[in-house]
Structure 1
Amino acid sequence: MWDDWARTAQPLKGKVAIVTGAGRGCGRAIAQGLAAAGASVCCAARSKSEIAETVALIEEEGGVAMAFAADVTDLQSVTAMTHATIAAYSGLDLMVLSHGVALAVGPVETTDPVDWQRTIDVNLIGSYYCIRTAVAPMKARGAGKIIVVGSGQGHNGTASTSAYAASKAGTWALTRSVAAELIGYNISVNELLPGNVRTQLYEDTFGQVISATPAGGEPISSKRSHEWLKAPEDIVPLALFMACQPDIGPTAQSFSLMRRV
């Protein structure tokens, strides 16, 4: 099992990581996985109680972690998060962007413009803010890794998901562009596509999309009939694989757990 290997091999010992969206779901699982592999982890999200619980779970397993309540749509908040991590652990080697919302579900003409904008602000602008603050400390370190948790919707949107799909398409473009900027600094920027993961976000959004798909539209279930519905813990091995690549390893790539033929 990945967790036995991570705890035994400690491939990330001495590394410092920030994980956004770490209060629950995929972010919490990834934070736990990185800590098990030896990294000191800043667990960031808006909910103080949720990230405190994540830190407690990590510390129960003998890991090192801190909680930081951050709003990714606020550049000052994100900057403070990164500075606090560096102050606590003396550097930054890895950033995993696992935050996200899926608002404005439904046909474009009936969606709430405020919710549509909020989805872009959190998923895309928030990722830009986080990456922006990570670049300087990673350059100072001489290397670094940025992992953006993306979505298949960003590569192939479906009906009633315009805001979410657009935001994730944007983060995929952002990933490739920043990777090109940073390739000479041994800083890799890659996308992790988890596919369907049973989280509250998935449950809420999937139910809304099914009910919002227009009559005559392609049922979303037709694109998911062969998909593997995962638990958050199931994406940790891929996250660790990406985090443990050499400094001169892959960049501007999309690593997927999705089943597509």
Structure 2
Amino acid sequence: MDTQSQPLMRTDAANAWFTAFLIILSLVMLVLGNNEMTEGWKFAGAKFDDTLNNIGLALLIAGITQYYTDFRVRSRFYKDVSDNVIANETLRESGILKFFRDSKTCIPAKVLDSAKTLDVGVTYSDRFLKDNIGILVSRAGSIRVRVYCVDADDADVRRLVALNTGFSDDDVRAEYRKLTRIVDDLVSKGVNIELFKQKTLPHYSFYIIDDYYFLTMSTFASRRATVPLFQMDQSSPLALLIREDRDHVMALNSTNEKQATPQ
């Protein structure tokens, strides 16, 4: 048995015994107060039977109140403990290590300083590559970068993305061009980078930096908003989902490795 729980159990037992004693004593006093044997007795100038009845009734009320309070408090306490244990266990099983409110500012650049591989899965955003272009160029030849995005050259895909983002077809194409231009720029500077395109709309974005896994959700509504980001353990179900999605895109969709993109 956990030694930390023993004082709590002793306290519960003591409270239970005291409450039981209080109720039993009150019942005894009520019985005596209504017994013919005590009728006519005097105590400090007052009728002894009335005194016993009054004290017994007060103790009975106190005992019942104590029992009810202890029961409610203990029930609430154990429920809170149980809820916390279940929540912590569920969180542990999910593999989520950290939660960040803003996905744009939470992945520290120092994670890339010694990384050997970087996988970036986005709809068409160039922000992550643009924010870290200096580090990637400085580490050209020592880091392998793979980017996964929608194929905005495909009119149907472009229309699908436009419907889900509130952008026009031209806006989607323009954002996609920003991404492909950065990829081409990194290629020209010696960075080992590949671009994988898919013809479906992603439902989340991800970043895999060696064994660091990050996932950020997309908005449900057709709008732009600040979205949170989760860091996950590499053995978690979410990390497995990301790896399988990444491998699926890599296997079934085209790659433009080290090829210039039409401007």
Instruction: Decide which structure has the larger Cα Rg and report it.
Output: 2
Q: Same fold by TM (over 0.5)?
A: no
- Normalising by structure 2, we get a TM-score of 0.27
